[in-house]
Structure 1
């Protein structure tokens, strides 16, 4: 049981790196066409082409659930849940808190909340795929924690 908890927490933490890596090198790289509408809205829909990226990690998470269910990988459940939990955290922080796709958490104003908003605002000041910064989500550079 302790191993599963450690694997869950480790997977959740590794997902922050995976989000940073895929955001910087995939979304702002060869799949920019899917991500571009997140930086410069070119449609009237509530959905963005960028929303398709969640499917990639959802499929990976389900894959680990299936590996566990079929007794192929005993820690598959812990890995799948770690990916799933990060996906929920990402959705809450990015889509709800920062972009207000649902009008919730509008009054969150602690140091961490302000730093997350500042870092993401710096990321979105760049409308093109080049010259980006702050590609992560939950780990925020110290310089954005100013008062």
Structure 2
């Protein structure tokens, strides 16, 4: 396998993971997996929440593909795909846990229009504390905040909490 094809697989996997993350968030985490994800829509007490188990669950395919491709003689493309999954996980951690939820203290303030948009979209996702009625399930691709606010207003059903400071320390 050429390096160029491997890099293409890697990049396609990173991009494809956003679609996977959207689907997993919308139909698993806000569906039958709510029992784990609900902790993420509540104030966190301490460093960990039950929702953090999803990081371990989603790391398994990456580890298996990396191990299989590198050590078990599977198709070499699996190494690139496993690495793409791991890279998306690292990007997600940086954006979601460090920048948005500030689980690691930082002085970073979003300045670019893109960063402001994804932070605002995720915060708008959190104004609904139940598993139904949410907006913005993706993370690296987010609808315009104005569209999300309009959709939340249209859905207003008593499930939207009053605005509050977002810090969850």
TM-score range, shorter chain: over 0.9
Count of aligned residue pairs for this structure pair: 144
**Where do residues 62-141 of structure 1 align in structure 2 (5 Å cutoff)?**
62-69=63-70, 70-104=72-106, 106-141=108-143
* Structure-2 residue corresponding to 1:144: 145
Deviations 1:58-95 (A, max 9, x none): 11100101220211121011001000000000000000
Pair member with larger Rg: 2
* Structure-2 residue corresponding to 1:12: 14
Q: Does the 8 Å CA contact 1:7/1:75 hold for their aligned counterparts? A: yes
* Structure-2 residue corresponding to 1:33: 35
Deviations 1:93-144 (A, max 9, x none): 0000000001125223211111011101110011000001100010112x23
1-structure distance, mates of 2:58, 2:34: 17
- In structure 2, runs of 5+ residues without a counterpart are 148-169
* Structure-2 residue corresponding to 1:53: 54
Q: Does the 8 Å CA contact 1:123/1:132 hold for their aligned counterparts? A: yes
Q: Does the 8 Å CA contact 1:64/1:77 hold for their aligned counterparts? A: yes
Structure 1 segments of 4 or more deviating over 4 A? none
Which residue, 2, 5, 23 being the options, matches 1:3?
A: 5
Q: Using CA pairs under 8 Å that are at least 6 residues apart, name the structure with larger relative contact order, 1 or 2.
A: 1
1-structure distance, mates of 2:146, 2:88: 22
Instruction: Give the superposed CA RMSD.
Output: 1.5
2-structure distance, mates of 1:56, 1:4: 25
| SS in structure 2 of the partner of residue 132 of structure 1 | coil
| SS in structure 2 of the partner of residue 103 of structure 1 | coil
1-structure distance, mates of 2:127, 2:45: 21
Q: Does the 8 Å CA contact 1:97/1:105 hold for their aligned counterparts? A: no
